[in-house]
Structure 1
Amino acid sequence: MQHTPVLKVYKFGGASVKDAGSVRNLGRIVREHAQESQLLIVVSAMGKTTNALEELFQLAHAGQDYSTALAALKKFHCDMARELNLDADAPPEAVPHVTFGDVSLARLFEQLGDRLATLVPGEFDRQYDQVVSFGELLATVIVARALAAQWLDCRPLLRTDHTWREGRLDWPTTERNVRAEVLPLFSQGPIVTQGFVGGTASGQTTTLGREGSDYTAAIFAYCLQAESVTIWKDVAGLLNADPKVFADPVRYPRISYQETIEMAYYGASVIHPKTIKPLAVRHIPLLVKSFVDPAAEGTRIGDGRHEPLAPAFIRKDNQCLISFESKDLTFISEENLEVIFGVLAQVRLKINLMQNSAISFSVCTDFSAYRLEKLLDQLRSQFTIHYNTDLELYTIKNYDATSIARLTRGRRLLLEQRTRQTFQFVSQTLPAGQDALL
């Protein structure tokens, strides 16, 4: 009896394609599984490309010279293509000939240059999406050619609304598009496509939120009813703490969808918060494995019970604590809260923590000077507003007395809150060397 290959989705983040050696390692992982699986491979922008594109966008939007930054970005990708021997005959001053139909490295850089040159004041978020999305397009053209795989533009397939920088998916249209366009391609071998990006019905590019490639992998897995999704990271699996921040992290061998959703919501960096729901709906397991040690066990996220979990430590940097007080010393009523919540939603400041007293209401959000100013403009006439920036939000999931003492020692806490399983606090950033956990 002929074996029918199972369909799997792999996601490789920026660290796994940061240089030519990393791309070759990705190729080895894919070759080990391509014979027994139909693979759809979701790839993020290479290394720190998204940061570089954000810098380019900021310069261009401010009317400043961005030519040096653009040249550096172009050189990085061209050098990568040459080191992977994708166009050995290309002269040093030329863009390597890496092409799929009418899509090529050279054409993508022409389009990026056009986007930057035609930015206009206003529409910051819409124009952001049109520029920053080039990171994934450039990466997948290089990776697909290096793997001799098929290149797929996901933007016409993943249909979103016009919520720039955090596109909301039209699930029925997306599922129809993906099944119709992708399933016939598997007979021709592995497919490489972009994370993080989607598109509107009118053909404009959207993005799905920072670090949204995990979510892209889950979308494809849901639509294709894949057997599993594997996210390849530079860590051993899903850990109880970021090893770049906390000492002695512990790997979870198995963990439930529910626990993972909560950890992602609170800011755990391993999984994008929207990733889990579409997988849980179709009971598709999510595997988190190390591209450094592909044979290692990793973590399996799925249905079912598991052993009691070690406390999870999560830190979110660049936080802003905003406090609203009624100007006439009246209570913070439901009517006041309705106004505050409405403006927070309008300017798209996500609440990470909130707390109220009789005459004040405080929220901790990710800091954005642009969005904070819009908030102040709309609410300062009605409320007295105080805010602090450059703060940290710490969360301990499944806390105990020892874990709380460990994390709060030596810190100045500006706000704290606990529920049955979760302890959170906002603190000021300590000078380097004063935090025993770092």
Structure 2
Amino acid sequence: MKIFKFGGASVKDAAGVRNLAEIVRTQGQNAVIIVSAMGKTTNALEGIVRAYVHQKTDDIQSQLASLRDYHNTIMSELTGDFSPVHQTLAHLENQLQQPCNSLYDEIYDQIVSLGEVLSTQIVAAYLTQTGLSAHWLDARHLVRTDTTFREGRVDWEATNRRIKDAIVKNQLYITQGFIGQSPDNRTTTLGREGSDYSAAIFAYCLNAESVTIWKDVPGVLNADPKWFDETVLLSKLTYQDAIELAYYGATVIHPKTIKPLQNKGIPLCVRSFLQPDAPGTVIGNSDRHLSIPSFIFKVNQVLISLHPNDFSFIAEDNLSRIFGRFAQAGVKINLMQNTAISFSVVVDNNPDRLPVLLDLLKQDFRVSYNDGLELITIRYYDQGTIERVLPNKKLLLEQKSRYTVQLVVKDLD
């Protein structure tokens, strides 16, 4: 059995849904198809969450109307029984009329998760109408997690049992990425862009033949074409190189995706839904590492520097408190560096979590920070590649290892 994962860009409109159907018809009828929310639906639902938490009734209604209109437009150009979609939208509207009495992260998961439900209901209805026997599955009943909302930790034993009980080989299934369910039956999500991880979860549990992630790029490139004019397609990658690239922020693959596949030797293919016959990139077992440098850019970064308030050093007790504060605020560290009397970290500028983190850190440390920065990571670097990315940049921090250099820079323009 194969696992196919289609991201939001691949199903952003009716033409995308029809294209998905053609790919499934020709390449994946014995497969589990995992689909993300359509287009920018996740962003739209995040806006609805913020309006709901702050009880901005007019914003809730206008954003909900836009969400409904967007999905209705797609359905109007397709055929199928879309009554489940209307039921999901009605459920969302009813939910938004209830009192807001839960923590933000839990509310987030209950609402934002519906984007994947809507997209898979539309895709399943259309595939069925076109003659493909597509079975819609609710991933919330299959992927069991703990109660860490927005970053659910998978209970692999329970998930493995549920997926194997639900899926029969030689059938076609449509289900959601990104979402799961806690032991007390509350919806959880696996982290932003977690649909790739969902594909790996299903593949691991089913001992899949392969996983294919369908993207709007020809495969894994050595740099994001938004930043580099001349990019190179990487036709093959080792699991190790893929893990490293994902860890440092390569957006083509979710960081958690690779390890479950590596553990069972399941190849991961990254292919273009715009050119479905092209080979793309294959990630698997290989002794050959990358022969060319790869560049990863993360923008909107914040460099935070911490100094003890007393005469102590940055030693084990201080580090323990620092990491505890980051865990408490739910903020991930993209880079860290310490001296005897300071500790510096680079993080994403998350407006929901960063202010909370800074308040926590100020309880124990003097805190200073710079925002509006870029974090540039080069894998298999040399001095020439470093110089290539530094024009018109002020270098604030540099960290090197044998194969990787990370540069924190500020644009001088």
- TM category (shorter chain) comes to over 0.9
Q: What secondary structure is seen at the aligned counterpart in 2 of 1:381? A: coil
Query: Match of 1:387?
Result: 369
Alignment partner, residue 11 of structure 1: 5
Corresponding residue number in structure 2 for 1:33: 27
Correspondent of 2:403 among 390, 415, 421 = 421
Identify the residue that residue 74 of structure 1 maps to in structure 2: 68
Which whole-Å CA distance do the structure 1 matches of 2:101 and 2:228 have between them? Answer: 42
Matches of 1:223 and 1:307, distance apart in 2: 28
Structure 1 equivalent of residue 391 of structure 2: 409
Give the whole-Å Cα distance in 2 for the aligned partners of 1:282 and 1:176.
17
Counterpart residue number, 2:239: 257
Cα distance change of structure 1 residues 339 and 399 upon mapping to structure 2, 3 Å threshold: same
Residue 334 of structure 1: which of 316, 320, 326 is its match? 316
What is the Cα deviation at residue 191 of structure 1? 0.8
Aligned with residue 156 of structure 1, among 124, 129, 141: 141
Checking the alignment, whether the CA contact within 8 Å between 1:61 and 1:119 is kept in structure 2 is no
1:182 aligns with 2:173: no
Counterpart-to-counterpart distance in 2, 1:311 and 1:417: 16
TM-superposed CA distance for 1:430, in Å, is 5.1
For 1:379 and 1:395, the matched residues in 2 are separated by: 26
Does the CA contact (< 8 Å) of 1:60 and 1:119 recur in 2? no
Post-superposition offset of 1:121: 5.4
Match of 2:116 in 1: 136
Say which SS state the counterpart of residue 334 (structure 2) adopts. Answer: strand
3-state SS of paired residue (2:22) = helix
Q: Give 2:378's aligned residue.
A: 396
Aligned to 2:221: 239
Deviation at 1:382, TM superposition (A): 2.1
Letter in 1 for 2:120: T
In the alignment, is residue 216 of structure 1 matched against residue 198 of structure 2? Answer: yes
**Within 1, Cα distance between the matches of 2:14 and 2:177?**
20
Q: Cα distance, 1:376 vs. partner?
A: 2.9
Decide whether the 8 Å contact of 1:119 with 1:127 is kept in 2. Answer: no
CA RMSD of aligned residues (A): 1.4
- Distance in structure 2 (CA, Å) of the matches to 1:217 and 1:430: 41
Q: Give the alignment's TM-score, normalised by structure 2.
A: 0.95
Aligned twin of 1:173: 158
Q: Percent identity?
A: 51
Q: 1:146 aligns with which of 119, 123, 126?
A: 126
Alignment map for 1:44-63 (pairs within 5 Å): 44-63=36-55
Match of 1:245, SS state, is coil
Match of 1:3 in 2: none
- Residue of structure 2 equivalent to 1:350: 332
Aligned to 1:324: 306
CA distance in 2, matches of 1:428, 1:59: 33
In the alignment, what sits opposite 1:43? 35
- Higher mean C-alpha deviation, range 382-391 or range 350-359: 382-391
Q: Which secondary structure does the structure 2 equivalent of 1:369 belong to? A: coil
One-letter identity of the residue aligned with 2:52:
A
Structure 2 alignment gaps of length 5 or more:
129-133
Q: Deviations over 1:220-239 (max 9, x none)?
A: 00000000000011111111
**TM-score (normalised: structure 1):** 0.90
Describe the shift of the 1:417–1:203 C-alpha distance in structure 2 as closer, same or farther (beyond 3 A). same
Rounded Cα–Cα distance in structure 1 between residues aligned with 2:323 and 2:65: 43
Following superposition, the deviation at residue 147 of structure 1 comes to 1.0
CA–CA distance in 2 between the matches of 1:72 and 1:176? 39
2:95 matches 1:115: yes
Deviates more, 1:402-411 or 1:172-181: 402-411
Are the counterparts in 2 of residues 126 and 164 from structure 1 also a CA contact under 8 Å? yes
The separation in 2 between residues aligned to 1:288 and 1:430, in whole angstroms, is 36
Report 1:267-306 matches (<5 A).
267-306=249-288
Q: Which residue of 2 aligns with 1:84?
A: 78
Distance in 2 separating the partners of 1:369 and 1:210: 15
The residue that corresponds to 2:131 in the other structure is: none
Worse-superposed segment, 415-424 or 385-394: 385-394
Tell me the CA shift for residue 383 of structure 1. 1.0
User: Which residue of 313, 330, 347 maps to 2:295?
Assistant: 313
Deviation at 1:401, TM superposition (A): 1.4
In structure 1, distance between residues paired with 2:250 and 2:412: 21
Q: What secondary structure does 1:155 align onto?
A: helix
SS at match of 2:164: helix
CA drift at 1:119 = 5.0
How much has 1:85 moved relative to structure 2?
2.7
Gaps of 5+ in 1: 1-6, 87-96, 432-438
Q: Is 2:82 the partner of 1:98?
A: yes
Check whether the contact 2:241–2:289 (CA below 8 A) recurs between aligned residues: no
The residue identity in structure 1 corresponding to 2:26 is E
User: For residues 20-47 of structure 1, what are the alpha-carbon distances to aligned partners after superposition, in whole Å with 9 as ceiling and x for unaligned?
Assistant: 111111111111124xx51110000001
Aligned CA distance change for structure 1 residues 311 and 339 (closer, same or farther; 3 Å)? same
Deviation at 1:17? 0.2
- The alpha carbon displacement at 1:180 in A equals 0.5
CA distance in 2, matches of 1:409, 1:398: 20
Q: Deviations over 1:411-435 (max 9, x none)?
A: 012211111111101122454xxxx
Secondary structure of the corresponding residue to residue 222 of structure 2: coil
Distance 1:387 1:174 in 2: 42
Whether the aligned pair in 1 keeps the contact of 2:237 and 2:290 (CA below 8 Å) is: no
For 1:213 and 1:53, the matched residues in 2 are separated by: 16
Q: CA offsets, 1:184-215, max 9 Å, x none?
A: xx45x411100000011211110000000000
